Amino acid sequence: MSELSCDIGIGGMTCASCVARVERAIGKLTDVKDVSVNLATESARVTWKLPESGEVNAQEQQARLRRAVRDAGYEPLAAAHLEQAPVGAWSGFGPVAVGLLLSAPLVLPMLGDAFGKHWMLPALWQFLLATPVQFILGARFYKAGWHALLAGSGNMDLLVAIGTSAGWLLSMWLWLMAPDGHMVHLYFEGSAVVITLVLMGKWLEARAKRQTTDAIRALHALRPEKARVITPDGEQEIPIDELLVGDRMVVLPGERFAADGVLLEGQTQVDEAMLTGEPLPVHKSMGARVTGGSINGEGRVLVNVSATGTATVLANIIRLVEDAQAAKAPIQRLVDQVSAVFVPVVLVLALVTLLTWWFTGHSLEVSLIHSVAVLVIACPCALGLATPAAIMAGTGVAAKHGILIKDAQALEIAHKVDTVAFDKTGTLTVGQPRLASLTSVKPSDASAPESDAQLLLLAASLQSGSEHPLAHAVVQEAKSQSLQCVVPDDVNAVPGFGSEGQVQGRTLLLGSLRWMDALQVPAGAWQVQAAQMQSEGATVSILAERTHAGVRPLAVLAFGDEPKPGVQAALTLLRKRGLRLVMISGDNKGAAHAMARRLGLLPDEVFAEVLPGDKAALVKSLQTNSQGTPHVVAFVGDGINDAPALAAADVGLAMANLNVDGRRGGTDVAMQAAGITLMRGDVALVAGAFDISARTVAKIRQNLFWAFAYNAAGIPLAALGYLSPVVAGAAMALSSVSVMSNALLLKRWKP
């Protein structure tokens, strides 16, 4: 059986009980394998089981899903409701403002009592002010509470509706039963103020929610609406949805690239900060890759489009962030279990409070007020927001700095990591060989050897037309020394050995030691030098010349990979966190240990000559030491051969290396296997990922503590008569706002 996931927006959810009810309703649908509802994003991620044929009626599937949401008492919305442009800061404040205006005269007598003033409004005025708040502004609570009852469950709205209705009905009864002309104390103000405070709390909560989804909106805003392409009729602007792979796209200075592609003409500086977190512009010249959503600098460039729509890097980033924000952390499962029984328990406690006060000799009026206070303060809004709000804020700010957290489980586990295993090539090192040294060979006829610059020019000229990585390294070194290569003649590649050709009338060969042995090149001190370089981890090639007397060596070229800038400092930072570091390499022991010394790693932290298929097994062995003690292991890699190890680790971190030509295929596979993706090849981001994990989990725990603490302290105080319904309503609203505000503090985080 295969699977298919889809998203749906859900309007009207208010608390953790709503989440549980929607999950039950959707879970009852045929072929639904898994459903995860997120209160903070007001959305659901649904996974369907598909038949063996793979055929599915998507329209019917969506219709069933929307019907299930509506039958549960909620409003099905488009899955893209989070992509909408941000609204004003005061959007949705109208009902709250009306509630404040109507409730203020009711609260005024309470303030007057504190100063010995008696400003009690007539009962009719209290009724006229409180009733619109109760039944017009509060209609949402009755509607949602009624749907909850029909579904055989409870939620925050039901508690508010029952509590405020009890206060309003009690006031009506006292008013109607009072003798003519007799002023009685009514509780209209309690019901009106509770509804107004709850509405204000929900408005502040919605305002905070919009801030947690800023990351998604900001990423969508990177996608321009139009692209300028070259057609047979000249340059033409077309909608971005009509852009095709192979189109030639013109991008002017200051414009955003509409899609991924390769530069055909021009050179420029590209701002990729929103994609990679890299603050400095990146230089791009002909042949360089550009990413949709990044900003062109000072040059007009022509780009060959290589990916559009959902295949672009930006679309993949958005998908990863949305997946992370829609996912549930394992700790949330416990919260869901508590929420499932919370509202029924509160209803029972409210009834017990009512009966206890009544049977102990107090009036029905007093007993009902204390019962209402229990109902109001017990609303589980904060409980439902505690985890998703922190996850959304944490994953959003991490994405801003180039750390994409794919799932909530990786976010929750990352801070527990005690062992970090790194792939070597492309992760700790640049991943592209460079010419480390060129040593001239002393001629056997005792004539003066040629200069290193002349030998480098000969080698670079011979290799100038080759695509081999070692040839590229030779040419790059020549360019760095401002040497002008000459065009070679009759160049032939000798598979497995090297290349041969004519440069300035000389027949030159550049290739491996094995080739030199096969050609019976005269032995000499150069062989000892070459062996020494190989033992130190270098790849060695020989530049030789074919003459009438045979083949004679001219120079020994040593190639090596280089550590990435700042990698040693990043590894030192990880050590300071108390982490054990391990390097896994497929290179020979000499090369692996030579690089380890440059990185500051110890010999026992190096695993060399590890085949790609054995990396996953090695990661599993690190998860349990010789004494049987379990370890939490993170693996950091960047290539397609790292995917099994990334999947086997407790936390997989894939380095995207998006700016390195030709590495996207392997990177994409690694990104799918990993729980966390680092959008630039900076090892320092590994510590950043662990840090944001620790801070996010800390926020989740703080939020859950406060959410439970409000209820644990508030319910007994209300039941014992120490809290009025108005104070209870204010405390309940404050609990939700405090949880959201605490989560939003994560937005200030920097790696």
Cβ atoms of 615 and 673 within 8 Å: the answer is: no
Query: What percent of the chain stands above pLDDT 70?
Result: 87
Separation CA 329–CA 336 (nearest Å): 11
Query: What average pLDDT does the segment 482-502 reach?
Result: 86
Which range has the worst mean pLDDT, 80-89, 235-244, 415-424, 545-554? 80-89
Tokens 């290589």 belong to residue:
306
| Residue 423: active-site member | yes
Alpha carbon 147 to its chain's center: 35
pLDDT at 660: 38
Tens-digit pLDDT profile for residues 609-620: 787 678 888 998
Cβ atoms of 401 and 277 within 8 Å: the answer is: yes
Tokens 């038949």 belong to residue:
51
pLDDT at 97: 93
Burial class of residue 305 in the structure, from the number of CB atoms within 10 Å of its CB (0-12 exposed, 13-18 middle, 19+ buried)? buried
pLDDT band at 637 (very low <50, low <70, confident <90, very high): confident
Tens-digit pLDDT profile for residues 451-483: 899 999 999 999 988 877 788 889 989 998 989
- Name residues whose C-beta falls within 8 Å of residue 626's C-beta, 6 or more positions apart in sequence: none
Q: What is the 3-state secondary structure (H, E, C) of 355-423?
A: HHHHHCCCCHHHHHHHHHHHHHHCCCHHHHHHHHHHHHHHHHHHHHCCEEECCHHHHHHHHHCCEEEEE
pLDDT band at 716 (very low <50, low <70, confident <90, very high): very high
To the nearest whole number, what is the mean pLDDT of the chain?
83
Tens-digit pLDDT profile for residues 181-233: 676 777 787 788 878 877 887 787 677 666 666 666 777 778 888 999 998 88
Tens-digit pLDDT profile for residues 166-179: 889 888 888 888 77
Higher pLDDT, 457 or 513: 457
Angle at 114 between CA 111 and CA 118, to 5 degrees: 70
| Active-site entry in 260, 323, 336, 423 | 423
Structure tokens, 37: 């509802």
Higher pLDDT, 206 or 553: 553
Domains in the chain with CATH codes: 2-83 (3.30.70.100), 227-257+260-307 (2.70.150.10), 403-431+563-693 (3.40.50.1000), 434-560 (3.40.1110.10)
pLDDT at 275 over 50: yes
pLDDT at 662 over 60: no
Tens-digit pLDDT profile for residues 618-636: 998 998 876 778 899 999 9
Separation CA 79–CA 417 (nearest Å): 34
pLDDT at 502 over 90: yes
pLDDT at 666: 43
Separation CA 430–CA 472 (nearest Å): 14
Element (H, E) at 166: helix 156-177
pLDDT at 478: 92
pLDDT at 128 over 90: yes
pLDDT band at 659 (very low <50, low <70, confident <90, very high): very low
* Overall pTM surpassing 0.75 (yes/no): no
Higher pLDDT, 672 or 521: 521
pLDDT at 447 over 70: no
Cβ atoms of 669 and 643 within 8 Å: the answer is: yes
Cβ atoms of 386 and 38 within 8 Å: the answer is: no
pLDDT at 453: 92
Query: What percent of the chain stands above pLDDT 90?
Result: 23
pLDDT at 658 over 50: no
pLDDT at 82 over 80: no
Cβ atoms of 716 and 731 within 8 Å: the answer is: no
Which range has the worst mean pLDDT, 221-225, 376-380, 401-405, 542-546? 376-380
Separation CA 512–CA 539 (nearest Å): 9
